[in-house]
Amino acid sequence: MIQWTDERKGAAPLTGQEAIAYIHSRGWMGSRPGLARITELLDRMGNPHQKLRYVHIAGTNGKGYTSAMLDAVLRGAGVRTGLYTSPYIHRFQERIQVDGVPIRDGNLGSVTEYVRACAQDMAEGPTEFELLAAVAFEHFYRSGCQLVVLEVGMGGRLDATNVIPAPEVAVITNIGLDHTQQLGSTVEAIAGEKAGIIKAGCDVVLYRPQRPGVEAVVRGACARAGAVLHRPAERPEPVERSLDGQVFTYDGLRELRLALLGDHQLQNAAVVLEVLRVLGEKGWSIPEAAVRRGLETVRWPGRFEVLQRRPVFVVDGGHNPQCAQAVADNLDTYFPGRRVILLTGVLADKDYAALYAIMDPHVSRYYTVTPDIRRALDGGELAAYLGRYGKPAEACASVEEGVRAALAAAGPEDVVLTMGSLYIVGPVRECFGLYE
């Protein structure tokens, strides 16, 4: 493990909050795409990213779940892991973790100051996401990580994380329509951007089932790179379901327990199991006991997470039509016939029309809020939009007010559901005293 040192020759390092402020000051929206800036920055840093090994994960939906499951299993197998995800729920530091522990403020400040010093005289300064990626690579290197589970921020081909060498495994999760202005208006175009993480000679695991055309795009990318494509062997078979989790069988492994809820999580688990199989073939020691323990204990806040039971309160960060369909399916599976009250807020640039068209048949009443981000759709405007469905729709001044109003309107057998944006998940969980 690398010893931590202050790179500024005696000067006090940045605090955690100063580091976060500096990273945020380089807002990425409008920046020219490309890998030249991050490549130059990492070269100035001694290329820490080239000294690590990776599982690289891209996709529209399921990246976070897949990353969390894989990280939990690997840690259980004794592997010292790095985990890089986005966005965060409660604290910025959640995005960079070593062995399940978010980066500490002191380390965040020290590493960010080092990265800032390396970047300060670049002809074209790095973007926010490039800075964050550089901080993560340096932290993982200094922390002696054996394997980094690296989630793509957006896209893949031109994402800052794509500067890494060929990973142990590249993973493509479920592909759908999101970020269409940046990535393309068809699933095939988006798949092409995601498949940009496939590098010469690496192994690739592809989520199934995919929309028509996606698999052909990924197969073509593998053929051009000389990469080996793997798909889950079969559809996982659920044996038992409850609000505490689900039991399933997959490829000869019986009675696997998964803490996460929903059929889509079984499909994500199958991807993880396939990745673990490939890693095993590459010499990584991952005992079955670690697999079982990791799946059973993994937690991923804000993904169809049950916060209370009577009335049921569920929070989900789903924000696109594919997520909405998964949530709707979960409502049918876990709460058939029960009245649903939806507390929701969205970003103005999302396809919220399609999202609510999927959700409305399940919803009896709406409460709306404004997510705390500049791109948010005003909660009053959203309430007016939802009013066209002919159901009560009331705007609330804050998430806390929305939670109180939704619970007051719910009977003991009703379900209160929060979804629409990851930016309201943290404030909702905090209303229940939950802080990760």
pLDDT in tens, 167-199: 999 999 988 765 445 554 588 888 999 999 999
Least confident window among 18-27, 290-299, 305-314, 414-423: 18-27
pLDDT of residue 9: 41
Tell me: cis bond preceding 238? Omega within 30 of 0 counts: no
Mean pLDDT (whole number) for 113-138 = 94
At residue 140 the predicted structure's pLDDT band, cuts being 50, 70 and 90, is very high
pLDDT of residue 85: 94
Least Cα distance to 429 among 326, 319, 314, 325 occurs for 314
Q: Which amino acid is at 87?
A: P
pTM of the full predicted structure?
0.89
Under 8 Å between Cβ of 76 and 99: no
pLDDT of residue 5: 44
Beta bridge pairs of residue 55: 149, 169
Q: How far apart are CA 187 and CA 212, in angstroms?
A: 8
Mean pLDDT (whole number) for 76-86 = 96
**Torsion angle of C-alpha atoms 423, 427, 430, 431, degrees rounded to 10:** -140
The share of the chain scoring above pLDDT 70, in percent, equals 94
Mean pLDDT (whole number) for 276-293 = 96
pLDDT of residue 176: 75
pLDDT of residue 29: 42
Q: Kindly report the three-state secondary structure assignment for every residue of the chain.
A: CCCCCCCCCCCCCCCHHHHHHHHHCCCCCCCCCCCHHHHHHHHHCCCHHHHCCEEEEECCECHHHHHHHHHHHHHHCCCCEEEECCCCCCCHHHHEEECCEECCHHHHHHHHHHHHHHHCCCCCCCCHHHHHHHHHHHHHHHCCCCEEEEECCCCCCCCHHHHCCCCCEEEECECCCCCHHHHCCCHHHHHHHHHHHCCCCCEEEECCCCCCCHHHHHHHHHHHHCCEEECCCCCCEEEEEECCEEEEEECCEEEEEECCCCHHHHHHHHHHHHHHHHHHHCCCCCCHHHHHHHHHHCCCCCCCEEEEECCEEEECCCCCHHHHHHHHHHHHHHCCCCCEEEEECCECCCCHHHHHHHHHHHCCEEEECCCCCCCECCHHHHHHHHHHHCCCEEECCCHHHHHHHHHHHCCCCCEEEEECCHHHHHHHHHHCCCCC
Mean pLDDT (whole number) for 275-300 = 95
Q: Which amino acid is at 147?
A: L
Q: Residue 14 above 70 pLDDT?
A: yes
pLDDT of residue 325: 92
Under 8 Å between Cβ of 179 and 238: no
Mean pLDDT (whole number) for 258-273 = 93
Mean pLDDT (whole number) for 313-338 = 93
Cβ count within 10 A of residue 252: 7
pLDDT of residue 237: 82
Least confident window among 48-52, 207-211, 364-368, 399-403: 207-211
Under 8 Å between Cβ of 207 and 62: yes
Tell me: cis bond preceding 209? Omega within 30 of 0 counts: yes
Mean pLDDT (whole number) for 136-148 = 98
What are 310's two structure tokens? 């009577």
What are 244's two structure tokens? 């505490």
What are 366's two structure tokens? 């709406």
Q: How far apart are CA 263 and CA 269, in angstroms?
A: 10
Q: How far apart are CA 425 and CA 175, in angstroms?
A: 23
Tell me: cis bond preceding 427? Omega within 30 of 0 counts: no
pLDDT per residue as tens digits for the range 210-229: 888 899 999 999 999 999 99
Q: Is the dihedral of CA 44, 50, 54, 57 positive or negative?
A: positive
Q: Residue 11 above 70 pLDDT?
A: no
Q: Residue 427 above 90 pLDDT?
A: yes
Under 8 Å between Cβ of 8 and 116: no
pLDDT of residue 86: 85
Under 8 Å between Cβ of 239 and 249: yes
Mean pLDDT (whole number) for 26-32 = 55
Burial class (CB in 10 A: 0-12, 13-18, 19+), 353: exposed
Q: What average pLDDT does the structure give for the chain? A: 91
Q: Residue 331 above 80 pLDDT?
A: yes
Q: How far apart are CA 20 and CA 22, in angstroms?
A: 5
* Per-range mean pLDDT, top range of 13-27, 34-48, 147-161, 181-195: 34-48
Q: How far apart are CA 338 and CA 176, in angstroms?
A: 29
At residue 81 the predicted structure's pLDDT band, cuts being 50, 70 and 90, is very high
At residue 435 the predicted structure's pLDDT band, cuts being 50, 70 and 90, is confident
Phi, psi of 392 (to 5 degrees): -55, 135
pLDDT of residue 6: 43
Q: Which domains does the chain have, with CATH numbers?
A: 16-297 (3.40.1190.10), 305-431 (3.90.190.20)
